[in-house]
Amino acid sequence: MPELPEVETSRAGIAPHLEGRTVSRLVVRQPQLRWPIPAELAQCLEGRVIRSVARRGKYILIAVDGGAALLHLGMSGSVRVLPVGAPVGKHDHVDLELDSGVMLRLTDPRRFGALLWQPEHELHSLLASLGPEPLSDEFNAEYLQTCCKGRKTAIKTLIMNSQVVVGVGNIYANEALFQAGIDPRRAAGRVSAQRLEQLVVCIKQVLAWAIKQGGTTLRDFVGGDGKPGYFKQELHVYGRAGEPCHSCGSILKEVRLGQRSTVFCPSCQR
């Protein structure tokens, strides 16, 4: 699934083509995504100027007067900016046509993505319970200490909880915990304040670097400009179970936490 850096890469790629342009037409070929596309969405968007293209967690918010379209890429979704009238593929479900002669096309082979509507001055239920953005000042050591206090949940599971902090997906949770030297299985409440402070720094660094590199190259993801991300070349533990640790040479181990593959160094991470 595309994680926060992949979504941010897509947002940054499409924003210059959308912001300030008027929506001329919304074409929906397949309304049945993870949730049905609202029937009124065309009426909400057509003829309106796109004021901004923002991101909240893994949702891209395309804002116009009166509200915003919420776009989620799901397991396999991607977006492209193409000329209006470009040939349609089997999994090209939605086109957002603009007055500039280009369109934003949503492609989603597995149809686990979403395109929904959030009226102005309202907060969609999917966004209501989200924790702070990991790159924001609100996500800091004091906040994480409060979230971890007394918790028996594994620290990796906790930082992947979107109600605690949004967008720290499996790949970047593995990488941040390795950089912080924390065993992903350790109970959150047993991680010292000093190490939690370091973990916050590492989460921010890993995500910021991944965004700068254009996200992680996944089988189903390419950036908003049609080019793949390159952060995969920088991974230290994710996907490397059984290989030697880059830091100490120990063999990396793999366990399952919260049904997710978790790779760590038994020597470097305590």
* The residue to which tokens 């597995």 are assigned: 110
Integer CA distances (angstroms), 183 to 3, 41, 260, in order: 22, 46, 15
- Residue 55 in contact with residue 73, Cβ under 8 Å? no
Identified catalytic residue from 2, 5, 134, 184: 2
Terminal C-alpha separation, the chain = 28
**Active-site annotation holds for 253:** no
- Residue 118 in contact with residue 45, Cβ under 8 Å? no
- Residue 223 DSSP SS3: coil
Identified catalytic residue from 51, 195, 253, 260: 260
**Active-site annotation holds for 8:** no
- Residue 228 DSSP SS3: coil
- Residue 226 in contact with residue 14, Cβ under 8 Å? no
Identified catalytic residue from 58, 80, 105, 156: 58
Residue ranges at the known binding site for DNA: 91, 110, 151
What is the distance between the alpha carbons of residues 56 and 139, in angstroms, rounded to a whole number?
14
**Active-site annotation holds for 55:** no
**Active-site annotation holds for 134:** no
Catalytic (active-site) positions: 2-3, 58, 260
